[in-house]
Amino acid sequence: MGIDIAQKNKNLKYEFYLNEVFKNVFSNNNDAKNALIYQKKCDSLFALYNSNSNSSKIEILEQEIKNKNFDDILGKKQQILIYLFLFSILLILVVLFLLKNYRKYKRQKTTVEKQNQIYQEEIERIKKLAQKDIYVKKEISSFNLTERQLEIIKLIQSGKNNKEIASELFISENTVKYHLKIIYTILQIKYRNELSNFVVN
């Protein structure tokens, strides 16, 4: 009855124990036949128990290997995630650095363009003033010049050289040069052709 319950519950240890008890009882009663039967049952149960035990050990070992492999894979995945996280942070920092430099470059470019525009406008203004100064003739009456100096200016404007002027006015060339030096100083000019910018009445 106890053996049936042990078999039903698959309790090898308890079944082995009961069979060993029966073996000892028959052995003590000198019933060698039944003692041998229960001895064989005990051997069979012992072998089965060892087999199950070894199988359990193998299963445990396999499970440990699986767990170790799983831990290794998990560790590698976590390591990859950490690398990806660090790389993402680095990438974000690089993008922010480039964006900051791009904005700085854009501001500098805008400033330079505005400054160039100001320079260009100033150059154009100076050009216009220069053109105005070139093409607008100045009234010579506002300058304190003598009659002789005005005569010399008129003759120069008519295309005569110093020798011709000296001959026409009955003076020496040196005197003409002396008058021209004074005329240049009064009119604040440096060259002979600049006399064409003045109107002599």
Read off the CATH number of the domain in which 182 is found. 1.10.10.10
Specify the pLDDT at position 43. 82
Q: For residue 132, give both structure tokens.
A: 């105005």
Specify the pLDDT at position 53. 60
Specify the pLDDT at position 59. 65
pLDDT tens by residue, 88-143? 899 999 999 999 889 888 889 888 888 888 888 888 877 776 665 555 578 888 88
Q: Is residue 174 part of a domain?
A: yes
Q: Which of residues 12, 42, 69 is at a domain's end?
A: 69
Specify the pLDDT at position 58. 59
170: left (phi over 0), alpha (psi -120 to 50) or beta: left
Q: Is residue 20 part of a domain?
A: yes
pTM of the complete model? 0.35
Contact, 48 vs 11, CB < 8 A?
no
Contact, 62 vs 32, CB < 8 A?
no
- Domain carrying residue 178: 139-199
Highest-scoring range by mean pLDDT, 9-13, 178-182, 192-196: 178-182
pLDDT tens by residue, 141-184? 888 899 999 999 999 999 999 999 999 999 999 999 999 999 99
Task: Say what percent of the chain tops pLDDT 90.
Answer: 29
Specify the pLDDT at position 200. 81
**Average of per-residue pLDDT values in the chain:** 82
Q: Is residue 86 part of a domain?
A: no
Q: Is residue 58 part of a domain?
A: yes
Specify the pLDDT at position 133. 52
Q: Is residue 106 part of a domain?
A: no
Task: Say what percent of the chain tops pLDDT 70.
Answer: 81
Specify the pLDDT at position 27. 74
Report which residue type is found at 65: I
Q: Which of residues 69, 94, 122 is at a domain's end?
A: 69
> Which of 198, 85, 103 has the alpha carbon at shortest distance from 152?
198
Look at 110 and 10; give whichever has higher pLDDT: 110
Distance separating alpha carbons of residues 200 and 192, to the nearest angstrom: 15
Q: Which of residues 69, 93, 117 is at a domain's end?
A: 69
Q: Is residue 7 part of a domain?
A: yes
Q: What is the DSSP code (8-state) at residue 83?
A: H
Distance separating alpha carbons of residues 137 and 185, to the nearest angstrom: 18
Specify the pLDDT at position 182. 94
User: How many other CB atoms sit within 10 Å of the CB of residue 3?
Assistant: 16
Q: Is residue 89 part of a domain?
A: no
Specify the pLDDT at position 54. 58
Q: Is residue 33 part of a domain?
A: yes
The total number of structural domains in the chain stands at: 2
